[in-house]
Amino acid sequence: MTETAPGAGPVEDPPPVPIGVRIGELAREHGDATAVVCEGTTRTWAELDSRTNRLARALLARGVVLGDLVTIGLPNSVEFVEACIACWKAGAVPQPVSAAMPPLELQGVVELAAPPLVVARGELPLDRPIADVDELLAEADDDAPLPPVVSPAYKAPTSGGSTGRPKLIVSGQTGVVEPFGALVWRHRPGGVMVMPGPMYHNGPFTSAMAGLLNGSALVLMPRFDAEEVLRLVERHRATWLYLVPAMMSRIWRLPDDVRARYDVASLETVYHLAAPCPAWLKEVWIDWVGPEVLMELYAGTEAQAGTIISGAEWLEHRGSVGKVAYGEMTILGPDGEQVPPGTVGEVYLRRAPGQGPSYRYIGAEARTRGNWESLGDVGWMDEDGYLYLADRRTDMILVGGSNVYPAEVEAALDEHPQVASSAVIGLPDDDLGQVVHAIVQPAPGLDAIDLDDLRRHLAERLVRYKQPRTFELVGEPLRDDAGKVRRSQLLADRVPAQQ
């Protein structure tokens, strides 16, 4: 891309900056200012740079070479951030996984990634060398800058999708600073981010790293806690906050006096994504933080295309996830035909003309129609190009020939004050084909729910065929820390007992 100054010829954009080089620049600019803090551990920009130089040398000494995927199985921590930066400085690709991933599933991921080293704590039954950050730091004491190098891929997170089988999504972006990321996330130099989401998931990883590389400090939470989010926002005068709807609900359901105890006026951006947000929850957050502060993004880890919507836009287009901000999207019917506005179909995405691939899979194949790709979502677009999501194609329930989208039923369930979280699946039925089954976690302090009142609540919001036929109460949250629910596993756990 070029720009032409008045009276001058074209001016080329500056070359992209390798991430390792950028960390060094920030260290020189900000020195002893805080870069990352998590619980009781803090790193200044200077410390972050020097420690990751040592870690990168340790990775190289362990046999890591340009383009290697390095599996990082650390919990949210300063060390997680350091391990990722060290990978980029060594020319490797961070491949984050949950620190709590079951060994059998982790072994499957490692077989796909083929890392020369797994960065994790403790002993794991893997056929790969394993080391934690402290071990690696003990193996290298040279903290001088390394020669600049660019990793061929920025990241390679995992995704189980609806099948539960692991796959790796290797980014098409290289290990350089991409200014577009900071623009999308509305980061600014000198800002302060609070991140309660798990960094092994793409949304937290991508948004937090984009802010860090743009000169924002990162306040990382080891785990989500509703009141602690508000405390950290006030304490650090945070300007930016990441949430998923499950987190938003738990924060909003705090007692009024607890929520009012904290000053969140410093927030300039609150971004939510990763799962559908019920309209009632969106409205109360817009009223609380302001319509220009609350932002929503819809995209996949694959990053072919994405939509963005502000709270102000949402009030004019209720229920939408926004207009396309990058890439291209369309709605296709069952035979691959483009459907008119207002018609529900499958959402397909692709890169803008002239752009290279945004990702590649290891362990999976893309679902395609021509040069369009699908993430499995169902939805429609209005006349103005605003996208509205119904649900994932594989999660749709067919009740007597009528489509029921679980997200719509879950939104109605979660609005009830006695419900903390819910998940909806379709159980086999000889008469109707499937019936709606609601799995519900009672609100804190409750062991049970008034099901008659819940049924009345749902009857006011859903047509009869969408209303759950059966209910099941559970004691644990149904969504993980990233706001994800694996309905396929919930169904697999229950269908044998129903047959």
Report pLDDT digits (tens) over 349-398. Answer: 999 999 999 999 998 888 899 999 998 888 999 999 999 988 666 677 87
Is residue 369 classed exposed, middle or buried when 0-12, 13-18 and 19+ CB atoms within 10 A define those classes? middle
Asked if 164 and 170 count as a contact pair (C-beta separation under 8 A), the reply is no
- Among residues 409, 396, 489, 494, the alpha carbon closest in space to that of 162 is found at 489
Report pLDDT digits (tens) over 59-93. Answer: 999 999 999 999 999 999 999 999 999 999 999 99
CA atoms within 13 A on the CB side of 202: 23
- Please count the helices (runs of H) and the strands (runs of E) in the chain: 15, 28
Q: Phi first, then psi: give them for residue 108, nearest 5 degrees.
A: -65, -40
- Among residues 411, 469, 416, the alpha carbon closest in space to that of 438 is found at 469
Report in angstroms the alpha-carbon separations of 134 from 78, 83, 138, 333, 442. 12, 11, 6, 54, 42
- Among residues 467, 478, 459, 397, the alpha carbon closest in space to that of 433 is found at 397
CA distance 299 to 302: 8
In one letter, which amino acid is 178? E
| Own/partner pairs, 117-125, CB within 8 angstroms, 24+ separation | 117/59, 117/62, 117/63, 117/64, 117/70, 117/71, 118/70, 118/71, 118/72, 118/73, 119/70, 119/71, 119/72, 119/73, 119/74, 119/83, 120/71, 120/72, 120/73, 120/74, 121/73, 121/74, 124/73
CA atoms within 13 A on the CB side of 242: 34
Provide the H-helix boundaries in 264-333: 279-289, 311-316
Per-residue pLDDT, 18: 97
How do 269-272 and 240-243 pair as beta strands? Answer: parallel
Is residue 142 classed exposed, middle or buried when 0-12, 13-18 and 19+ CB atoms within 10 A define those classes? exposed
Q: Phi first, then psi: give them for residue 274, nearest 5 degrees.
A: 85, -20
Asked if 193 and 219 count as a contact pair (C-beta separation under 8 A), the reply is yes
Tokens 């500056």 correspond to 14
Sign of the alpha-carbon torsion through 370, 372, 378, 380: negative
**Domains by residue range for the chain, with CATH:** 19-320 (3.40.50.12780), 396-498 (3.30.300.30)
Is residue 10 classed exposed, middle or buried when 0-12, 13-18 and 19+ CB atoms within 10 A define those classes? exposed
In one letter, which amino acid is 146? L
Q: How many residues does the chain have?
A: 499
Q: Which residues of the chain have a pLDDT value below 50?
A: 1-5, 161-163, 497-499
Q: What is the DSSP string of 422-473?
A: EEEEEEEETTTEEEEEEEEEEPTT-S---HHHHHHHHHTTS-GGGS-SEEEE
Per-residue pLDDT, 11: 60
Distance of CA 82 to the CA centre of its chain: 20
Asked if 314 and 286 count as a contact pair (C-beta separation under 8 A), the reply is yes
CA atoms within 13 A on the CB side of 188: 8
Per-residue pLDDT, 86: 98
**pTM surpassing 0.75?**
yes
